[in-house]
Structure 1
Amino acid sequence: MTTPTLHPVRFDAPLVNPSPSGLYGVTTWTNDAVPRWLASGVQVRPHNFGGESAFGVWAASWCGDPGDELKDGDRPDPETTPFDPITVWAFDSCDPTPGSQEEVRLRVRQNMRLLEQVAVEREIAARLIADAPAGPAPADLVSALGHLEAELAKTNTTGFIHASAGVAAAASAANLVIRTGSTLKTPLGHTWVFGGGYVDGLGKALIATSPTFGWRDEVAVRETISAENNEFIAIAERSVVVGWETAVATAWLT
């Protein structure tokens, strides 16, 4: 008598939501209906930083000769380097039966939901390091954050601290994380951005920036049938730009 072959029961894992931490949750998004910026990116014009050369403390006597004391200066250069668009995509394929087609569409959209933010964080990490001024010698986490908060304090603004998700546990253990609703703050009220893409992208670097702005189009799902391979194919994609007004400071961990 032949023993029947028993196949395992198939169970489709339920869809999960993306992590609320990371860059996307704290970015101010502008969803343009017609994204004209796709080809050349976005150039952010500074209004809150770079005005040090047009500010001063009056040192001449009140009623005397002002001498070389002049109240003048230069406006910050508006011609900043544009932030380039990033195109992210997801692919899936299966047989062309109606049920399989629906599964393929579901899979590409879910892959986009879960993987997009991490990919964008990883892509912009190099720009973060390039834009931010070089920091002091590598130090422990408390000293590194102290340097970043001091540099942000000089601007009299609150900003973002971009760091690898691997730093979050150490920051919490050192009482450097204060939860405010769904947002994580530093002792002086700056926003922690613990990104999954920063694990590889930033490594041991911590970058302080002004708040981030984002532009993105809707996710487009394009599909086709490959008759010669008897396949239904779908690709989900969108383009994204994330930028900031200024990168304030860098600190490195030992």
Structure 2
Amino acid sequence: MTTALMPVQFDAPLVNPAPNGLFAAVIWQPWEGPLRFLEGVDITVFNYGGAESFGVWRADWCTTSKDLEPTDVKTGERPTMPDTFTAMTTWAYDECDLTKRSREEVLTRAEQVHRLQEPNAAETEFATRLLADTGAADPAADITAALAALEAGLARTNTVGVIHAGAQWAAPAAQAGLIVRSGAGLKTPLGHTWVFGGGYVDALDDVLVATSPVLGWRGPVEVRDAMVLKRNRFGAIAERSLVLGYESVIGAAEITQDQGSDGE
């Protein structure tokens, strides 16, 4: 008599999120205690919008006050502060039976699904705010022209920022020689950070957006479980709340040439 053996049960090793997305570029702010950012975050701008508060003195050094022109007056205006950056809550769910092994699987899977899906989902939500703040994007013939325009805009601010793009633009950017590796990060020729997000693939599509460095606030991942004895079910939810924001949107460029075009 032949005895049938059960298949070997193998737990796939947990993988890490890809390093090319937005979360790797965010400057996460330390936070302890109650999550007061759940009502949103208002960012006070210090590094951008200074063009209306700066000038070069062009009057003669020995001029009198009556000879000064209105443009010689040293005055300025503060930039408009960005609208409140609102919080989002991301979650993942799993369920199975009440056996010990199944309960362990449920908890692990809920946490891992959340860990892998949260960055892309946050990018998709964040893209909505990016596009709202940029308004109409300037047309660009190809990714080189798009990046050139955005780097010019960032250069005018004299700061280093972030270029947000869908992951589908990484290969064309590399082919055009627009990616410089810096450790685990990807930089533009002028040192700005590339973010090729999976959540930007559809949300930004052919649009590239330049911003100031992205700031973030997030709480811990909370895992909650429950049993339904009548149904022999065990379920778990992993969730977290976070806010993403920036001081300024620098500009946006929309690539008008199809990726498959040879430019002719």
TM range (shorter): over 0.9
Map of 2:46 onto structure 1: 47
Map of 1:105 onto structure 2: 107
Residues 1-254 of structure 1: pairs in structure 2 closer than 5 A: 8-33=7-32, 34-38=34-38, 40-64=39-63, 65-68=67-70, 69-78=72-81, 80-132=82-134, 134-254=136-256
% identical equivalent positions: 51
The SS at the match of 1:223 is: strand
Aligned residues: 251
Q: Cα RMSD over matched residues?
A: 1.7
Task: Measure how far apart 1:4 and its partner are.
Answer: 8.1
CA distance in 1, matches of 2:228, 2:166: 41
CA distance in 1, matches of 2:18, 2:95: 26
> Which blocks of at least 5 consecutive residues in structure 1 are unaligned?
none
Any idea what the Cα deviations from partners look like across 1:79-105, whole Å, max 9, x if unmatched?
x31111110001001111222111110
Q: Is the 8 A contact 1:133 1:247 kept in 2?
A: no
CA distance in 2, matches of 1:238, 1:31: 15
Any idea what the Cα deviations from partners look like across 1:173-208, whole Å, max 9, x if unmatched?
110000011111101111101111000111110000
What code does the residue aligned with 1:176 have? L
CA distance in 1, matches of 2:79, 2:24: 29
Task: Measure how far apart 1:133 and its partner are.
Answer: 5.1
> Which blocks of at least 5 consecutive residues in structure 2 are unaligned?
257-264
Any idea what the Cα deviations from partners look like across 1:2-27, whole Å, max 9, x if unmatched?
x9877654432211111111111111
Task: Measure how far apart 1:74 and its partner are.
Answer: 1.3
The SS at the match of 1:207 is: strand
What code does the residue aligned with 1:183 have? G
CA distance in 1, matches of 2:140, 2:79: 30
Out of 99-108 and 3-12, give the one that drifted further: 3-12
Any idea what the Cα deviations from partners look like across 1:223-249, whole Å, max 9, x if unmatched?
110122110110010001111110100
Any idea what the Cα deviations from partners look like across 1:39-72, whole Å, max 9, x if unmatched?
x211111101112111112222222222222001
Structure 2 length-normalised TM: 0.90
What code does the residue aligned with 2:242 have? V
